[in-house]
Amino acid sequence: MKELFDSTTINGMTLRNRFVRSATWEGMCEDNGRPTPRLASCYSDLAAGGVGLIITGYAFVRPDGKQMPGKMGIHTDDFAPDIKSLTEAVHSHGGRICIQLVHAGGQTTAKTVGRRPLAPSAVKVGQFPEEPGAMTQGDIDGIIAAFGDGARRAKEYGFDAVQLHAAHGYLINQFLSPLTNQRTDGYGGPVENRCRFLLEVYRSVRAAVGPDFPVLVKLNGSDNLEGGLDIKDAVYAARLLDKEEIDAIEVSGGTSASGDKTPVRTKIDSPEKEAYNAGLAGEIRMAVSCPVMAVGGFRSLEVIRGALGDGIDYISMSRPFIREPRLVERWKKGDHAPARCISCNGCFRPGLKEGGIYCVVEKKEAEERANKG
């Protein structure tokens, strides 16, 4: 039976437990994507706190794939010393770090990237801030190559793995979704065609890093949108990746346009509201041989152990680690109280104005304690 603090291996990468810090926008990079010392400190704290695998905030592989401010870039060799400091900070505490590679596609703006955003099709949908331009074959080939270049840099800079962001409405997900992919060429139409871009990105990345370097993917089990990617097509995509020897699949769900079923739901205040993607992850787990990670609302050990018992291999969390970087250490030492995160999403509001994300509730309570003392 799987145990939370088992030591496991993913394609040669040894992890000290089954806890994964899921990718989180931190807002701790310069405008051009260069990471700051604060980001290195953030990852260092997570590693010191016992997290088995840290997945970075989504890093853009080309400037036209940037979305949020303060987002890391992996599109140039200019940032090599700064990025190496991130990986070294994690390794100094015995941790492992994986960089998440992304292109935002139509989920960005012309103001942000300096040109009309690119997407599989020029369509108006709720998740796109403005109507993007339909990608040409040259655009497709260029972005596929950029993913490979980003992966090559990641390996050179000391990352232990790379993850492709194929969820949450970003470019790879846009190709998978029939809502955003209305192409009539070999990349659109039936699900096998809609999976083509994902597979070509994966092959580009695999060629860049070789067979013995872990390549993961974050995949929506469902977009939770009418006309979007559903679990049937997600399972199809997962099986294709499994045949191509993907090393692990992290299962999420939703997009920014998915209403109360977005990737970051609020008011998770009881066990019944936790693990909201576990069902999707379970269906994908039954269809593949590679390890599966589940993310989405895990807060208590009771629910986490239940997910492991149901076949999930790794538990991914994001917001709980913003409030408690040492949550894993706390649980390992015997304090099994649920994570203190109240799922308010206040952590994302400070943004660049205050140097990046942090738990506003924790800060307020600390200030109140200090005033009383």
pLDDT for res 372: 78
Q: Are strands 59-60 and 19-21 parallel, antiparallel or unpaired?
A: unpaired
Q: What's the pLDDT tens digit per position in 264-301?
A: 999 999 999 999 999 999 999 999 999 999 999 999 99
Closest CA to 327 of 45, 49, 41: 49
Q: What's the pLDDT tens digit per position in 167-189?
A: 999 999 999 999 999 999 999 99
Q: What is the DSSP letter of 73?
A: B
- Compute and round to an integer the Cα radius of gyration of the chain: 19
Per the DSSP assignment, residues forming a β-bridge with 53 are 20, 96
On the CB side of 90, CA atoms within 13 Å amount to 27
Residue whose token pair is 């949908």? 125
The SS3 assignment for 363 reads: helix
Q: What's the pLDDT tens digit per position in 108-143?
A: 999 999 999 999 999 999 999 999 999 999 999 999
- Give CA torsion, residues 78, 81, 83, 85, to 10 deg: -170
Average pLDDT (311-337) is 98
Closest CA to 219 of 273, 274, 283, 266: 283
- CATH 2.30.40.10 for domain 8-372, yes or no, is no
Residue 204 dihedral angles phi and psi, to the nearest 5°: -65, -45
The SS3 assignment for 322 reads: helix
Query: What totals of helices (H) and strands (E) does the chain contain, helices first?
Result: 13, 13
- Per-residue pLDDT for 351 more than 80? no
pLDDT for res 186: 98
Read off the pLDDT band of 74 (50, 70, 90). very high
Average pLDDT (313-317) is 98
- Say which of 43, 170, 314, 358 is annotated catalytic: 170
- Catalytic: 314? no
Domain ranges in the chain are 8-372
Q: What's the pLDDT tens digit per position in 186-236?
A: 999 999 999 999 999 999 999 999 999 999 999 999 999 999 999 999 999
Closest CA to 93 of 132, 131, 51: 51
Average pLDDT (59-78) is 97
pLDDT for res 350: 67
Read off the tokens for 35. 């990471």
| H/E segment holding residue 250 | strand 248-252
